[in-house]
Amino acid sequence: MAVLDSAAGRGGQEPERVRQRQAPFRDRVQAGRQLALGLREYADGRDGGGGGDVVVVSVSRGGAVVAGAAAAALGRSVPHMHYLVEAIPCPGLPGLSLGSVAGDGSVRLDDLVAGSVGRGAADPATLRAIRAVDRRLRRAQLGFCRPPPTRPDLDGRTVVVVDDGIEAGDTMRAAIMHLRHCFGPRRVVAATPVCLADARKPLGRHVDALVDVVSPLAVGAIPQWYASGATPSPAELRALARMFAAPQQCRPWTRE
């Protein structure tokens, strides 16, 4: 278990730790319970936050299974919410992000980046890109059994953002920036069972803390870190059945 605090994330020295290179997780349910051990201090208030203000937010389907198990292990007072966020690709420059769109229809446009490439909010191509992402995310968000978070749910609270693995960190980074912009959390903690070592410090610049179980030098495909592989385990299927509409239950584990 490792925690990267904001000082290390902004260029400080990360404590020396023995980093495991293999994660023998049976499935995402077990991984979520292990992850909860590193999150206990936030739920209990031992981090100085007072406790009782923690909300767990998953940002992918696999992350929802991890987050659900982690929230349950932390106690009934810790709610689990699901919130999909995706970057807005710049027309003509798909590798450049103009901001983000979320599953509730909210949009965060980076005016500085958009203006620098002549793609402001009134640009027709930008609007088309936003609409395309919005349609896709709204459909996916509706598959979750509970509505997405609202500002009163997260404002002034400690938000733990969970995914089932972090490679480049694009999904997690987009979600964190969107949550900070739209919801006003007091503190944001990124949490995942598996985080690529090279992704920790860059991602750490955007959060108050980063918690993982293992941080290998190379991640590879996220499913390979779970014994169940690309096929959801029986425990994962039960978790998916509780959280998502039936058609999503049997899909293989792919990055969303």
Tens digit of pLDDT for each residue in 105-132?
A: 999 999 889 888 888 888 899 999 999 9
More confident site: 58 or 20:
58
Asked whether residue 18 carries a pLDDT value surpassing 80, the answer given is no
Sequence-distant (6+) residues with CB within 8 A of 229 are 223, 253
Burial class (CB in 10 A: 0-12, 13-18, 19+), 18: exposed
Tell me what percent of the residues of the chain surpass a pLDDT of 70.
84
Q: What is the mean pLDDT of the chain?
A: 85
Hey, what CATH class is 2-82+149-248 in? Answer: alpha beta
Q: What phi and psi, each to the nearest 5 degrees, are found at residue 215?
A: -135, 85
pLDDT value at residue 106:
95
pLDDT value at residue 46:
74
pLDDT value at residue 227:
86
Q: Out of 66-80, 151-165, 215-229, which region has the weakest mean confidence (pLDDT)?
A: 215-229
d(CA 76, CA 53): 12
Q: What's the whole-model pTM score? A: 0.84
Copy the structure tokens of residue 16. Answer: 């020396």
pLDDT value at residue 101:
95
pLDDT value at residue 48:
64
Rounded to a whole number of angstroms, the CA Rg of the chain reads: 18
- Banded pLDDT at 77 (limits 50, 70, 90): confident
**In this structure, are residues 62 and 74 in contact, taking their beta carbons and an 8 Å threshold?**
no
State the amino acid at position 256 in one-letter form.
Answer: E
> What tens digit of pLDDT does each residue of 88-104 get?
999 988 889 999 999 99
Asked whether residue 168 carries a pLDDT value surpassing 90, the answer given is no
How far does CA 13 lie from the centroid of its chain?
Answer: 24
Asked whether residue 2 carries a pLDDT value surpassing 70, the answer given is no
- Arithmetic mean of pLDDT, 16-31: 66
Copy the structure tokens of residue 156. Answer: 């002034």
> What tens digit of pLDDT does each residue of 206-235 get?
999 999 998 888 767 777 889 877 788 999
State the amino acid at position 91 in one-letter form.
Answer: P
- Arithmetic mean of pLDDT, 163-173: 92
pLDDT value at residue 248:
44
Asked whether residue 199 carries a pLDDT value surpassing 50, the answer given is yes
- Banded pLDDT at 28 (limits 50, 70, 90): very high
d(CA 126, CA 133): 11
**In this structure, are residues 166 and 194 in contact, taking their beta carbons and an 8 Å threshold?**
yes
